[in-house]
Amino acid sequence: MAMHTTAQRVFVYIFALWLGSLVTIGYVVAPVLFATLHDTQVAGMIAGQLFRIEGTISLVLGVALIVFANLLVKRGLVHYKQVRWYLLAMLIGAAIVAFILQPMMNAMREEALAQGFPVMLSPLAASFGRLHGVSSVLYLIQTLLGLVLMWRLTKSVDLVKAD
């Protein structure tokens, strides 16, 4: 039982790092960039790079945590069957942003810059704005799922009792 408790604590620790990075980048660092930098194009480019890094973190930790949850289920901690669904949903959101939306937004940004405009002053501004909106909603959903999962994972019963 003690080994299971330690494994669950390690799982929660790794998940907390992931969730903390989501919250820090998305809801602290990015807003501060736009609030303090006078050039919104520069702020957007920096934020975009930070979100690419966050996307990589999300993909790596999401896959690792799903594998970890599968091992815990195989060791008899059936509660982690539900945990895997939260992780999978978060991972899918991160993958959509990283592999579909961000490349499309980057292509629009590059095309606008090639025409001599920042993307938000180009004819692509509306399309870019829609993609940014979808990306923001997926990020919010990913964060909310993470917060719900953290709540569930940190109930004291979960750390000492296997279902």
Rounded to two decimals, what is the model's pTM? 0.89
Tell me what pLDDT residue 41 has: 87
CA atoms within 13 A on the CB side of 92: 8
Q: Is the pLDDT assigned to residue 2 strictly greater than 90? A: no
Q: Is the pLDDT assigned to residue 109 strictly greater than 70? A: yes
Query: Is 97 domain-assigned?
Result: yes
Tell me what pLDDT residue 5 has: 84
Query: Is 77 domain-assigned?
Result: yes
Q: What is the domain range of residue 94?
A: 2-157
Nearest to 65 by CA among 3, 121, 8: 8
Query: Is 34 domain-assigned?
Result: yes
Give the mean pLDDT of the chain: 92
Average pLDDT over residues 74-79: 92
Query: Is 117 domain-assigned?
Result: yes
End-to-end Cα distance, the chain: 12
Determine which of 41-50, 80-89, 109-118, 151-160 has the lowest per-residue pLDDT on average: 151-160
Query: Is 105 domain-assigned?
Result: yes
Query: Is 163 domain-assigned?
Result: no
Q: How many domains does the structure of the chain reveal?
A: 1
Exposed/middle/buried for residue 153 (C-beta within 10 Å: 0-12, 13-18, 19+): buried
Query: Is 162 domain-assigned?
Result: no
Tell me what pLDDT residue 158 has: 46
For residue range 77-107, what is the model confidence (pLDDT) as tens digits? Answer: 998 999 999 999 999 999 999 999 999 999 9
Q: Is the pLDDT assigned to residue 108 strictly greater than 90? A: yes
Tell me what pLDDT residue 21 has: 97
For residue range 127-153, what is the model confidence (pLDDT) as tens digits? Answer: 999 999 999 999 999 999 999 999 999
Query: Is 102 domain-assigned?
Result: yes
